[in-house]
Structure 1
Amino acid sequence: MEITNVTEYQAIAKQKLPKMIYDYYASGAEDEWTLQENREAFARILFRPRILIDVSKIDMTTTILGFKLSMPIMISPTAMQKMAHPDGEYATARAASAAGTIMVYKDRKVVEQLVRRAEKAGFKAIALTVDTPRLGRREADIKNRFVLPPNLTLKNFEGLDLGKMDQANDSGLASYVAGQIDRTLSWKDVKWLQSITTMPILVKGVITAEDSRLAVENGAAGIIVSNHGARQLDYVPATISALEEVVKGAGGQIPVFLDGGVRRGTDVFKALALGAAGVFIGRPVVFSLAVAGEAGVSNVLKMLRDEFELTMALSGCNSLADITRNHVVTEADKFGVMPSRL
């Protein structure tokens, strides 16, 4: 079967993966309203394409935190990729590198050890995930009594004596994480992190202007607008709906990225038109990895790249700088919630 778009990988992955593992990757929190909304909100944004512009040369390159990328499409921090494919994160990293883009790894003594380990391994930035003081209620994981397959370990935590993920009466992952996460995490810890490393820190999990302003005040190098793939608090807005608010809060002082719901090159264009410096993809990576390993991830990146390039051409944009707010119309525009741009 010829795969012609990113979404098709999910149905094939569902057939291929054990139910517990597929459900872990695919599910969201509680009613999964935000999970659906992360996709549906993109569908409510329409284009205002410009015509009769010479688009014979399209330049999608960009520079993010000093790194030159072939396109503004990057790979989200997605844990436990070896459940999808034996090569796991290695395959994903190779596909990202071949495509000229980057992937992100997530994650007081333990943090310092992890940071040192990341520096030693040559990582260039830290994405601090800030929306998980507790793990969201993922009912599929509870039903499945989710636990890591016996042949896998949380490699990042190896040698740090953090115990192991045991079978539990609900989700083994939720029980394990509850014992590892520091619920007192606050903005002062972002400052502390800056004191132990020179790597730039991206704050991942911001969806309000208030927190966007605080991220700037506390020295974050960038913001990733994310609702954790709709796996934490249900009934928060889709990330594409929260994006403009966060961009305004940042006031152009640091770059803002979008994570969540991106499945088409048109989604990438919409995010950039609303002020994102780039986007991150998560689930499409693990599903394509499950279906075809490194080649699957490479194909996802290629399809998104090709669709994005076509969207730019059909909108009359030669470079990322040409993509403006005037190229899209949102629901808020239609109802006159925001002041007219014209």
Structure 2
Amino acid sequence: MKPAAAPLAPNTLPDGVVSLADHEHHARLVLGDSVWAYFNGGAADEITLRANTQAWQGIELLPRVMRPLAGGHTRVNLLGRELAHPILVAPMAYQHLAHPHGEQATALAAAALGAGLVLSTQASTLLEDVARAFLPDAGRGPLWFQLYLQPGRGFTRELVQRAEAAGFEALVLTVDAPVNGVRDRERRAGFRLPAGVSAVNLAGLRESDTAAPTTGHSAVFDHLMTHAPTWDDIAWLRSVTRLPVLIKGVVHPLDARQALDCGAAGLIVSNHGGRTLDTMPATAALLPRVVQAVAGDAPVLVDGGIRRGTDVLKAMALGASAVLVGRPVLHGLANAGATGVAHVLRLLRDELEIAMALTGCRTLADAPGMLRSSADVL
């Protein structure tokens, strides 16, 4: 393994960037067309991609006034640990495409801002280096490793053992992407990984394990689906790790209950950022039914389209235990490295506190009473 990298020098935040939308606009000027299509594109007609953001915007807050708010805070409890706030960085692949310091810069920023970090299996930085950058910060959030089950269980087991040894505190098994979505924007742009950027933690995975089929009629059903995760794999994964296992990509209430029956420690409601199956509902619409099905038996997190602190408050009001933020982090990373990521996370935290103050929420436990429903008469 490579030695720990030296501390990263901060970059300069662009002038006039005061919101996540500003970060997105500026990142479009920084990143090339191909990388932009990869990071920001969605599946097919990108209906779900757009719906994720629009759904949060369509939920209305109904504030209370003159409530005692002194001493309020954004703290939450997650898997037995108190966090400073409910914002985590979602797993995102190949962050070296956005900035030379890649996932290490994201880790340093997330740790400094007290945010949790979920590292992608397809990270372009060794998981050990990310852990060394993240874990020493006393005020950090949780460090989790996102896992795609690999065709060979032996390789998957070794990957899990590496994550454990490095200090990761949970596994996040992604189950909603056994194949890539139909990413038209990405294909039109001709995206290819450039030399020097790869999924370094998958080095050593045999090509024969992922090669195209030599028999059968369907590359999807006769090859890829033979490696797709099943409920039986949850039991196997739990048998080879001491870490709690969260399941990412659960959107149906029946799957939510089955995941808990299989021993999942938590669920993440996600439609993969609109990158897999287009015309799925937005995660804001999917979250309440999953929360209802779980009935408090495990934490339920959500990602997809979070762009404002008000979105974080709405997610908590709908029953989420925490939220994960993806593309805005990449935009901040592209704009100013670790400084840009820290700015994105700080903006969300500040906006969350302001939204809480303006709705009369002393703590996030008050959030469920702040949404307007059809029963409200104004």
TM-score (norm 1): 0.90
317, 320, 339: which one aligns with 1:273? 317
Q: Distance in 2 between matches of 1:48 and 1:152?
A: 47
Counterpart of 1:204 in structure 2 is 248
Matching residue's letter, 1:157? L
| 201 and 310 in structure 1: CA distance in 2 versus 1, 3 angstrom threshold | same
Q: Please list the CA deviations of residues 10-64 of structure 1 after superposition, one character each: whole Å capped at 9, or x if unmatched.
A: 1111111111111100000001000110011112111111111122322111221
Aligned residue among 10, 21, 24 for 2:24: 10
1:116 equivalent in structure 2: 161
Contact 1:99/1:298 (<8 A) preserved: yes
Match of residue 48 from structure 1: 62
- The equivalences for 1:58-77 within 5 A come to 58-77=72-91
Mapped to 1, the partners of 2:38 and 2:81 lie a distance apart of 32
Matches within 5 A, 1:87-98: 87-98=101-112
Matches within 5 A, 1:164-243: 183-243=227-287
Equivalent residue, structure 2, for 1:171? none
The yes-or-no answer on 1:126 pairing with 2:140 is no
Q: 1: CA distance between counterparts of 2:206 and 2:80? A: 36
- Asked if 1:31 is matched to 2:45, the reply is yes
Q: 1:138 aligns with which of 169, 174, 183?
A: 183
Contact in 1 for aligned 2:248/2:267 (Cα 8 Å): yes
Contact kept, 8 Å, 1:269 with 1:308, in 2: the verdict is yes
**Which residue is equivalent to 1:327?**
370
- State the AA in 1 paired with 2:271: N
CA RMSD of aligned residues (A): 2.1
Q: 1:243 to 1:32 in 2, by over 3 A?
A: same
The answer to which of 61-70 and 252-261 deviates more is 61-70
Q: Structure 1 vs Structure 2: percent identity of aligned residues?
A: 42
Compute the TM-score of the two structures, normalised by the length of structure 2.
0.81
CA shift digits 1:227-283 (9 cap, x unpaired): 000000001110011000010111110000011100000000000000000100000
User: Secondary structure in 2 aligned to 1:14?
Assistant: helix
The one-letter code matched in structure 2 to 1:37 is A
Counterpart Cα distance in 1 of 2:83 and 2:313: 16
3-state SS of paired residue (2:96) = helix
Quote the Cα distance in structure 2 between the aligned partners of 1:145 and 1:42: 32
Distance 1:280 1:240 in 2: 13
Q: After superposition, give the CA deviation of every residue in 1:157-193 in whole Å (9 maximum; x if it has no partner).
A: 1233448999xxxxxxxx9xx9888543111101110
Amino acid across the alignment from 1:259:
D
The residue aligned with 2:115 is 101
2:351 corresponds to: 307
Q: Quick one: distance in 1 between partners of 2:204 and 2:341? A: 30
Give deviations 1:76-131, integer Å, cap 9, x for gaps. 00111010001111011111110112110222112111101111111000010000
Counterpart of 2:333 in structure 1 is 289
Aligned to 1:149: 194
SS of the aligned residue for 2:185 comes to helix
**Structure 1 moving runs of 4+ over 2 Å:** 159-166, 178-184
Change (3 A) 1:180 1:297: farther
Consecutive unaligned residues of structure 2, counting only runs of 5 or more, are: 1-14, 120-145, 148-152, 212-218
**Structure 1 residues 164 and 8: alpha-carbon distance in aligned structure 2, compared to 1, 3 A threshold:** farther
- Between the aligned partners of 1:266 and 1:305, the Cα distance in structure 2 is 10
Contact 2:37 2:191 in 1 (8 A): no
Distance 2:246 2:185 in 1: 30
| Structure-2 change in CA distance of 1:86 and 1:317 (3 Å) | same
Which segments of 5 or more consecutive residues in structure 1 lack a partner in the other structure?
A: 167-174
Q: 1:27 corresponds to which letter in structure 2?
A: G
- Tell me how many residue pairs correspond in the alignment: 323
Distance 1:125 1:241 in 2: 27
In 2: Cα distance, 1:231 partner to 1:73 partner: 21
What one-letter code is carried by the residue in structure 2 that aligns with 1:116? Q
- 1:204 to partner: Cα distance: 0.3
1:66 shift after superposition: 2.6
- Per the TM alignment, residue 146 of structure 1 is displaced from its structure 2 partner at its CA by 2.1
